[in-house]
Amino acid sequence: MLTPSLYLGFLIASACGALFHLLRGGSLSRLWLYLATAWVSFLAGHLLAEWIDWHLLQIGTLNLLSALLATWIGLLTASILAGREEQPRTRRKR
Residue 93 has pLDDT above 90, yes or no: no
User: Is residue 54 one of the residues assigned to a domain?
Assistant: yes
48: CB partners within 8 A, 6+ apart: 66, 70
> In terms of Cα–Cα distance, which of 33, 34, 29 is closest to 19?
34
Q: What is the pLDDT of residue 1?
A: 61
Residue 11 has pLDDT above 70, yes or no: yes
pTM for the predicted model, two decimal places: 0.84
Mean pLDDT for 74-90 is 85
User: Percent of the chain, pLDDT > 70?
Assistant: 93
User: Is residue 7 one of the residues assigned to a domain?
Assistant: no
> Please, which pLDDT band fits residue 16 given cuts at 50, 70 and 90?
very high
User: Is residue 91 one of the residues assigned to a domain?
Assistant: no
User: Is residue 57 one of the residues assigned to a domain?
Assistant: yes
User: Is residue 4 one of the residues assigned to a domain?
Assistant: no
User: Is residue 11 one of the residues assigned to a domain?
Assistant: no
